[in-house]
Amino acid sequence: MSERITTDGDGTAPAPVDWDARAADFDDEPDHGLRDPLVRAAWAERLRRWLPGRPADVLDLGCGTGSLSLLAAEQGHRVTGVDLSEAMIERARAKLAGRDAVFLPGDAARPPVAGRRFDVVLVRHVLWALPDPADALRHWRSLLRPSGRLVLVEGVWGTVTPVGIPTDRLLTLLTPLTGHTRVERLSEDARLWGKEVGDERYAVVAMA
Protein backbone atom coordinates (compact mmCIF):
# COMPACT_ATOMS: atom_id res chain seq x y z
CA MET A 1 0.00 0.00 0.00
CA SER A 2 1.29 3.42 -0.93
CA GLU A 3 -1.28 6.18 -0.87
CA ARG A 4 -1.91 9.46 0.89
CA ILE A 5 -2.80 8.80 4.50
CA THR A 6 -5.86 10.79 5.44
CA THR A 7 -9.12 10.35 7.35
CA ASP A 8 -12.31 8.79 5.98
CA GLY A 9 -14.44 10.56 8.55
CA ASP A 10 -14.51 7.68 11.01
CA GLY A 11 -11.35 8.47 12.92
CA THR A 12 -8.09 10.29 13.03
CA ALA A 13 -5.43 9.13 10.58
CA PRO A 14 -1.67 9.54 10.89
CA ALA A 15 0.27 12.35 9.26
CA PRO A 16 1.09 11.96 5.55
CA VAL A 17 3.76 9.38 4.81
CA ASP A 18 6.64 9.93 2.39
CA TRP A 19 6.25 6.66 0.49
CA ASP A 20 9.19 7.41 -1.81
CA ALA A 21 11.41 7.50 1.28
CA ARG A 22 9.79 4.31 2.60
CA ALA A 23 10.37 2.36 -0.62
CA ALA A 24 13.91 1.29 0.32
CA ASP A 25 12.80 -0.64 3.42
CA PHE A 26 9.14 -1.26 2.58
CA ASP A 27 9.73 -4.93 1.79
CA ASP A 28 11.34 -5.57 5.19
CA GLU A 29 7.87 -6.12 6.68
CA PRO A 30 6.96 -9.81 6.26
CA ASP A 31 3.58 -9.11 4.63
CA HIS A 32 5.04 -6.43 2.32
CA GLY A 33 8.05 -8.13 0.77
CA LEU A 34 6.75 -11.71 1.16
CA ARG A 35 10.36 -12.88 1.45
CA ASP A 36 9.58 -15.57 4.00
CA PRO A 37 8.50 -18.69 2.04
CA LEU A 38 5.67 -19.39 4.51
CA VAL A 39 4.28 -15.86 4.27
CA ARG A 40 4.61 -15.88 0.50
CA ALA A 41 2.85 -19.24 0.23
CA ALA A 42 0.01 -18.04 2.47
CA TRP A 43 -0.68 -15.01 0.27
CA ALA A 44 -0.36 -17.10 -2.90
CA GLU A 45 -2.94 -19.52 -1.51
CA ARG A 46 -5.36 -16.67 -0.76
CA LEU A 47 -4.90 -15.13 -4.22
CA ARG A 48 -5.71 -18.44 -5.86
CA ARG A 49 -9.04 -18.37 -4.01
CA TRP A 50 -9.78 -14.72 -4.74
CA LEU A 51 -8.72 -14.43 -8.39
CA PRO A 52 -10.29 -16.20 -11.38
CA GLY A 53 -9.05 -19.68 -12.24
CA ARG A 54 -8.34 -18.61 -15.84
CA PRO A 55 -5.85 -15.93 -16.93
CA ALA A 56 -7.40 -12.55 -16.18
CA ASP A 57 -6.63 -8.83 -16.33
CA VAL A 58 -5.86 -7.67 -12.78
CA LEU A 59 -5.61 -4.03 -11.71
CA ASP A 60 -3.51 -3.82 -8.52
CA LEU A 61 -4.14 -0.42 -6.93
CA GLY A 62 -1.71 0.97 -4.39
CA CYS A 63 0.55 -1.86 -5.53
CA GLY A 64 3.62 -0.71 -3.58
CA THR A 65 6.68 -2.70 -4.60
CA GLY A 66 4.56 -5.22 -6.49
CA SER A 67 4.61 -8.23 -4.18
CA LEU A 68 0.95 -9.18 -4.79
CA SER A 69 1.33 -8.25 -8.45
CA LEU A 70 4.15 -10.77 -8.72
CA LEU A 71 2.07 -13.53 -7.15
CA ALA A 72 -0.80 -12.78 -9.53
CA ALA A 73 1.55 -12.82 -12.53
CA GLU A 74 3.04 -16.12 -11.38
CA GLN A 75 -0.49 -17.53 -11.38
CA GLY A 76 -0.89 -16.58 -15.04
CA HIS A 77 -2.68 -13.24 -14.78
CA ARG A 78 -1.93 -10.05 -16.69
CA VAL A 79 -1.24 -7.29 -14.19
CA THR A 80 -1.48 -3.51 -14.26
CA GLY A 81 -0.17 -1.89 -11.08
CA VAL A 82 -0.77 1.69 -9.98
CA ASP A 83 0.93 3.52 -7.13
CA LEU A 84 1.36 7.13 -6.08
CA SER A 85 5.06 6.61 -5.33
CA GLU A 86 7.50 6.62 -8.25
CA ALA A 87 10.08 4.86 -6.07
CA MET A 88 7.65 2.04 -5.30
CA ILE A 89 6.79 1.75 -9.00
CA GLU A 90 10.47 1.45 -9.91
CA ARG A 91 10.88 -1.45 -7.48
CA ALA A 92 7.73 -3.13 -8.77
CA ARG A 93 8.96 -2.88 -12.35
CA ALA A 94 12.27 -4.46 -11.36
CA LYS A 95 10.53 -7.21 -9.40
CA LEU A 96 8.31 -8.16 -12.34
CA ALA A 97 10.80 -7.58 -15.16
CA GLY A 98 10.06 -9.92 -18.06
CA ARG A 99 6.52 -10.73 -16.90
CA ASP A 100 3.16 -9.72 -18.33
CA ALA A 101 2.86 -6.63 -16.15
CA VAL A 102 2.90 -2.86 -16.48
CA PHE A 103 3.20 -0.31 -13.66
CA LEU A 104 1.90 3.25 -13.76
CA PRO A 105 2.39 6.16 -11.35
CA GLY A 106 -0.92 7.58 -10.24
CA ASP A 107 -3.66 7.93 -7.66
CA ALA A 108 -5.38 4.67 -6.69
CA ALA A 109 -8.70 6.48 -6.37
CA ARG A 110 -8.52 7.55 -10.03
CA PRO A 111 -6.04 5.20 -11.71
CA PRO A 112 -4.64 6.39 -15.07
CA VAL A 113 -5.90 3.43 -17.13
CA ALA A 114 -7.53 5.39 -19.98
CA GLY A 115 -10.92 3.69 -20.01
CA ARG A 116 -9.61 0.12 -19.83
CA ARG A 117 -11.72 -2.53 -18.12
CA PHE A 118 -10.47 -5.35 -15.91
CA ASP A 119 -11.60 -8.70 -14.59
CA VAL A 120 -10.30 -7.91 -11.10
CA VAL A 121 -9.56 -4.76 -9.13
CA LEU A 122 -7.23 -5.82 -6.31
CA VAL A 123 -6.64 -3.38 -3.45
CA ARG A 124 -4.76 -4.09 -0.22
CA HIS A 125 -4.64 -1.66 2.72
CA VAL A 126 -5.50 1.40 0.60
CA LEU A 127 -9.23 2.11 0.78
CA TRP A 128 -9.20 3.15 4.44
CA ALA A 129 -6.60 5.85 3.71
CA LEU A 130 -8.47 7.55 0.85
CA PRO A 131 -10.41 10.77 1.47
CA ASP A 132 -13.66 9.39 0.00
CA PRO A 133 -13.86 5.57 0.13
CA ALA A 134 -17.41 5.50 -1.25
CA ASP A 135 -16.41 7.48 -4.34
CA ALA A 136 -13.32 5.30 -4.87
CA LEU A 137 -15.42 2.14 -4.73
CA ARG A 138 -17.89 3.53 -7.25
CA HIS A 139 -15.05 4.35 -9.62
CA TRP A 140 -13.38 0.97 -9.15
CA ARG A 141 -16.70 -0.74 -9.85
CA SER A 142 -16.90 1.16 -13.15
CA LEU A 143 -13.52 -0.30 -14.18
CA LEU A 144 -14.79 -3.88 -13.99
CA ARG A 145 -15.94 -5.97 -16.91
CA PRO A 146 -19.24 -7.84 -16.60
CA SER A 147 -18.79 -10.61 -14.00
CA GLY A 148 -15.66 -8.89 -12.70
CA ARG A 149 -14.78 -8.69 -9.05
CA LEU A 150 -13.37 -6.38 -6.41
CA VAL A 151 -10.83 -7.97 -4.06
CA LEU A 152 -10.37 -5.70 -1.05
CA VAL A 153 -7.98 -6.47 1.80
CA GLU A 154 -8.56 -4.10 4.71
CA GLY A 155 -8.62 -3.89 8.49
CA VAL A 156 -8.59 -1.74 11.61
CA TRP A 157 -5.18 -1.24 13.19
CA GLY A 158 -4.19 -0.01 16.62
CA THR A 159 -5.92 0.05 19.98
CA VAL A 160 -5.48 3.56 21.45
CA THR A 161 -6.35 5.49 18.28
CA PRO A 162 -7.38 2.79 15.81
CA VAL A 163 -7.40 3.58 12.10
CA GLY A 164 -8.91 1.62 9.27
CA ILE A 165 -12.29 0.60 7.92
CA PRO A 166 -14.38 -2.00 9.77
CA THR A 167 -15.93 -4.89 7.89
CA ASP A 168 -19.51 -3.75 8.40
CA ARG A 169 -18.78 -0.27 7.04
CA LEU A 170 -17.12 -1.66 3.93
CA LEU A 171 -20.02 -4.05 3.31
CA THR A 172 -22.46 -1.14 3.65
CA LEU A 173 -20.52 0.84 1.05
CA LEU A 174 -20.49 -2.15 -1.32
CA THR A 175 -24.20 -3.00 -1.02
CA PRO A 176 -25.45 -0.65 -3.79
CA LEU A 177 -22.52 -1.48 -6.08
CA THR A 178 -22.14 -5.26 -6.19
CA GLY A 179 -24.03 -8.50 -6.03
CA HIS A 180 -22.62 -11.38 -4.03
CA THR A 181 -19.93 -10.58 -1.47
CA ARG A 182 -17.74 -12.97 0.51
CA VAL A 183 -15.79 -12.05 3.62
CA GLU A 184 -12.67 -13.89 4.79
CA ARG A 185 -11.27 -13.17 8.24
CA LEU A 186 -7.49 -12.89 8.04
CA SER A 187 -6.45 -12.00 11.59
CA GLU A 188 -6.31 -15.61 12.71
CA ASP A 189 -3.90 -16.68 9.96
CA ALA A 190 -0.51 -15.69 11.39
CA ARG A 191 1.22 -16.99 8.25
CA LEU A 192 -0.06 -13.96 6.32
CA TRP A 193 1.62 -11.49 8.66
CA GLY A 194 4.68 -13.39 9.81
CA LYS A 195 3.42 -13.08 13.39
CA GLU A 196 0.33 -13.32 15.57
CA VAL A 197 -1.96 -10.28 15.31
CA GLY A 198 -4.90 -9.23 17.45
CA ASP A 199 -6.57 -6.53 15.37
CA GLU A 200 -9.23 -6.77 12.66
CA ARG A 201 -7.90 -7.90 9.28
CA TYR A 202 -10.10 -9.26 6.53
CA ALA A 203 -10.71 -9.57 2.80
CA VAL A 204 -13.90 -8.98 0.84
CA VAL A 205 -14.45 -10.47 -2.60
CA ALA A 206 -17.36 -8.64 -4.23
CA MET A 207 -18.77 -9.74 -7.58
CA ALA A 208 -20.00 -7.13 -10.06
Residue whose C-alpha is closest to residue 126's, from 25, 37, 17, 50: 17
pLDDT tens for each residue of 104-136: 999 999 999 998 999 999 999 999 999 999 999
Name which residue leads in pLDDT, 177 or 27.
Answer: 177
Q: What is the mean pLDDT of residues 27-41?
A: 94
- Does 1 score more than 70 pLDDT? no
pTM of the model: 0.91
The whole-number average pLDDT for the span 65-79 is 98
Average pLDDT, the chain: 92
> At 15, is the pLDDT very low, low, confident or very high (cuts 50, 70, 90)?
low
